[in-house]
Amino acid sequence: MLETIKIARPGFWPTHVWFYLLPFAGRDMFGSTPFWLGCFYVSFPLGLLLYGWNDLGDYVSDRCNPRKDSWLFGGRPDEAMRQRLPWIIAAVQVPFLIAFVIIGGWWMLLWFAAVLLTNATYNTLGFKRLPVLDLLNQIGYLLIFLLGSWLCGVPQLNAATMVFSALFAMQSHLFGQLMDIEEDRIAERHNTAITLGAVPSKWLLVGIMLVEVAISWTYFQSPIVAGFMFAGAIFFSLDALAGPKQYPPLFTKLFFVAWNLIVIATMHFVWRYGVFLVD
């Protein structure tokens, strides 16, 4: 059981929940059973689907990845676990599929179909090994917003927040590729970071963050988001100027611990004040 939880990458759950909360900004949903059901689903069950499926095809690179086999970055399933994993993933999803259809109607089948399609293109069709497509595939994380809206009957987020969040998902994925760039070379991948190289990928990261700064400064109700993204752009600009060095494991662990602390600390702030609502 512990290995299954580790495969679902608990280190990513706070970000999933943070995304899930955005459509509920300023709304009292804490007495709602569908709200809490969706909140739980986007942690362990969705994490198991996303990252368990990913681990089935990444065992070559994961064997030499020092970040793996951790609660932050996921497990390193052996052959026996990889044989059982598809059945475990399916068994965990089925109760939520039934519950979501009962609560939200047959439309929820389309939501699960979209999640499966997004994962199939990334893992089975190999988008994760193709430049540009590997980043565009991350737009699928916006389905977390759609889940909250359909399950609990709240309005969907505005276009500015959608675009910002899609860019944020792509930026986070590119940063993950930079952390794994040597392991991905061993696995003979040709993703965006490998194709561009470390330094150009870091400048691409800076460019994405500056677009996020522009969106958040123009549309959102708080300059804090713009300031945070601008600080990130400065950091990665200095990082790009420092050269193509790979991030050491200790740095990545500390970075993700700090990130999770920020995410947890800002959840109430983002929900209470509707930071990502259009001004």
Q: What does the alpha-carbon distance between residue 49 and residue 230 come to, in Å, rounded to a whole number?
A: 33
Residue 265 located in a structural domain: yes
Residue 278 located in a structural domain: no
Residue 251 located in a structural domain: yes
Residue 72 belongs to domain spanning = 1-273
Residue 279 located in a structural domain: no
Residues 6 or more apart in contact with residue 230 via CB below 8 angstroms? 209, 210, 213
On whether the CB atoms of residues 42 and 80 are closer than 8 A, the answer is no
The per-residue pLDDT for range 197-254, each reduced to its tens digit, is: 999 999 999 999 999 999 988 888 678 888 889 999 999 999 999 877 777 877 888 8
Residue 8 located in a structural domain: yes
**What percentage of the chain exceeds 70 in pLDDT?**
94
pTM for this predicted structure: 0.90
Residue 31 located in a structural domain: yes
Number of domains in the chain: 1
The per-residue pLDDT for range 4-17, each reduced to its tens digit, is: 888 889 989 999 99
How many CA atoms does the CB half-sphere of 272 hold within 13 Å? 5
Residue 161 located in a structural domain: yes
Residue 91 located in a structural domain: yes
Give φ, ψ of 157 to 5 degrees: -70, 160
The per-residue pLDDT for range 74-130, each reduced to its tens digit, is: 777 778 888 898 999 999 999 999 999 999 999 899 999 999 999 999 988 889 889
